[in-house]
Amino acid sequence: MQPILKVRGDAKLDPVPLFIGGEWTPDDTAATSPVHNPSTGEVIAETPMCGSAQVDAAVKSAADAFPGWWETPPPERARVFFRFKALLEEHFDDLVRCNTREHGKTLTESRGDVRRGIEMVEFACGIPSLLMGESLENIARGIDCDTIRQPLGVCVGITPFNFPAMVPLWMYPVAIMCGNTFVLKPSEKVPLTAIKIAKLLDRAGLPKGVFNIVHGGRECVDALLMHPAVKAISFVGSTPIAKHIFETGTKHGKRVQSNGGAKNLVFLMPDADIENSVRGVIEGAYGCAGERCMAASTAVIVGEAEKKVLPALIEAARSIKVGRTDLDAQPHMGPVITRQHRDRVIQLIEIGAKEGAKITADGRGVKVDGAPNGFFLGATVLENVQSGMTVAKEEIFGPVLNVMRFADLDSAIEEANRSTYGNGASIFTRSGKAAREFKHRIQCGMVGINIGVPASMAWFPFNGWNQSFFGDLHMQGKEGVQFFTQQKVTTSRWFSFGEGDIWQRDAKT
């Protein structure tokens, strides 16, 4: 059944259907949440806010499909994902433009979003080799032992707005390739890219019910967290919600991996290469308008680096061109996701100023020609930020760079390690000793050396620590495969016919 186009005024809205049991169906009974083009403020779709009935239907579909998919040989599963990967490449440009239209990323950033998602599909295609178990013969005389990995059952993904392509693809290709079935709940702010990608997965030949999509907010999420047939939950979002997901999911017997927020730091040493370090900080802080959990939100200026690097950082921030991303001509940075989010970031900038930070690049008054209703905010720099300030502790999730100063590397690392978060930290230096000391002592899960954003690629875990992650097994890489499977250990011994038969022995006597 084809989804029905809704109409607002004179504009047709993109459909946001559910995908349950291999069928795309509208939900015209639910309340809706608007999807905007952030460059113009225009409403382009309405996301249905599903409840427990739709969740139950999707989970039941996935549960019914699980036995057949589990019995599908892993090489056959992989062939589906090889076809899926080819379709993603074929429709790459369309996915990029959809991503930009509903999120506001520049086209370059959307290409990165989609490309990193495709890399996860490439990784998933090779999962059969990671599903192989281990064996050891003669663990005792005539006794052998082996392990196998088996899927869990119905798994769930709950994803944020900031990477409409990549983050869902962190989850379900790995889960499904491991033999599980899946229900995805994409962000209600950006459902369109997830839907386009799911249609390609359907075209690749995935059996009905193996993959499903529902939409919604808190009611939908809680229904997924508490559903008795759901075995595992994968989440990315802010730390408060990540903690709620973890606590609620585990309370109801689910396996949970829950990624939260961060305050990532970039250390600039006196010997850092100015051009490369400034480029790394600027791209890390303002890429995707700062709306990413790996954003380089704080520049840590160490010693004499202040004289060399800080003026260049401020100049580079002031030169960033902000504009519409839904046109062929592209700016350096696009809008943030919603008007409400823009207003929250502005409020945090003003709180920072009241608490003593100095605004040396101010993006609050930025205007974009031809887009008076877009959700724009220019690149902002806050100097003299101290550890007790609100902007130093809260994740801003916008185009704001904090600047903190320290006399030496030791004091800077000590202060950084007091953070409640633990996603990433980077250092720019020519000193191998400083880099090694930093790598060894910094308390976070992803470290960059002369890298502005040390986000790991598909073959390695996305390795948040502390309040940036709740759970035991991270997304991506081998840990992702371990999360979506469980081990079974078999210990075996075989007798010759009649050997050890107590009834036969008794009969002879």
Residue 501 has pLDDT above 90, yes or no: no
Residue range 66-94: mean pLDDT, rounded: 98
In 87-122, which positions are buried (b, 16+ CB within 10 angstroms) versus exposed (e)? bbeebeeebbebbbbbbbbbbebbbbbbebbbbbbb
Taking only the tens place, the pLDDT of each residue in 298-309 is 999 999 998 889
pLDDT band at 9 (very low <50, low <70, confident <90, very high): very low
> Is the CA virtual torsion 442, 447, 453, 459 positive or negative?
negative
Strand partners, 255: 232
The count of C-alpha atoms lying within 13 angstroms of the C-alpha of 471, restricted to the half-sphere facing its C-beta, is 32
**Tokens in use for 236?**
């990315």
pLDDT band at 105 (very low <50, low <70, confident <90, very high): very high
Q: Let me know how many helices (H) and strands (E) the chain has, helices first.
A: 17, 22
pLDDT band at 29 (very low <50, low <70, confident <90, very high): confident
The residue with tokens 């000793």 is: 433
Mean confidence (pLDDT) of the chain: 95
Residue 3 has pLDDT above 50, yes or no: no
Instruction: Note the pTM of the prediction, 2 decimals.
Output: 0.94
What is the DSSP annotation of 121-150?
HHHHHTHHHHT---EEEEEETTEEEEEEEE
Residue range 405-426: mean pLDDT, rounded: 96
| Residues annotated as catalytic (active site), given as ranges | 293
Taking only the tens place, the pLDDT of each residue in 128-178 is 999 999 999 999 999 999 999 999 999 999 999 999 999 999 999 999 999
Q: What is the pLDDT of residue 27?
A: 86
Q: What is the pLDDT of residue 164?
A: 98
Phi first, then psi, for residue 154 (nearest 5°) are: -85, 125
